[in-house]
Homo-oligomer: A and B are copies of this chain.
Amino acid sequence: MGAKERKERQKTEMREAILSAALKLFSDDGYDTVTMRKIAEEIEYSVGTIYLYFKDKSEIFFELHNRGFAEFFQKQLSVQHIKDPLERLIAHGTAYVQFAIDRPEYYDVMFISRTPSKEINKSKHWTEGERTYDLLKLNIKQAMEAGYFKDVDIEVAAFSLWSFVHGISSLFVRDRMMMVPAEAIKPLVTGALKFLERAY
């Protein structure tokens, strides 16, 4: 009898429903303008029900945070097949920014939002983040071996490149480009990515 399995399935389905409702609402507004009651209304259950599936609001946040990183890491990996180290590195940066543009709600949660509690730091949540950072350093190292980045410390190079793409992404996500006409944003972003090639 598959009653146990069905129960199990329903449980995960409910969790999924809550998470996707929350993510949908997060996209429109920020973390704290999304209310538990709105999420409840979205999934057509009462408020209390959510607490049967998640300890509290920040657990929903963390779960989305995790999923964001998983998807993010996959996107970063998708570039590793490129042979030329420099091209690969550029594609790596482009994929980074593209992720922020495609999934601003995730990017926000992952890299910009104030973490609801300090626990997220140093916790397992960040191992995913470190994996992508290690990937970046690997790509830089290989670019170095191919003759680029002469006389640059690898840590400095990694941090610099990360700062650069994060700067672009977060200005975009948090809407701080109002001095730029809307139609000029896209070319500006690609232009900026090209600009950094000069430093290689």
Contacts and interface: CB of A to CB of B under 8 A. Distances in A.
A112 B129 CA distance: 20
Contacts of A171: 162-163, 166
Contacts of A168: 159, 163, 167
Interface stretch (A7-15, A66-74, A175-183): A175-183
A159 B178 contact: no
Interface in A87-119: 111-112, 114-115
Nearest to A193: B160
A192 B160 contact: yes
Q: Classify chain A's interface size.
A: 35 or more
A28 interface: no
Interface SS of chain A: helix
A159 B193 CA distance: 10
B191 A195 contact: no
Give the number of copies in the complex.
2
A5 interface: no
Interface stretch (A53-61, A77-85, A149-157): A149-157
B114 A179 contact: no
Contacts of A30: 114
Contacts of A17: none
Closest 6 CB pairs of A and B: A167-B167, A163-B167, A156-B191, A198-B199, A199-B199, A160-B192
Contacts of A124: none
A156 B195 contact: yes
A188 interface: yes
A191 B158 CA distance: 11
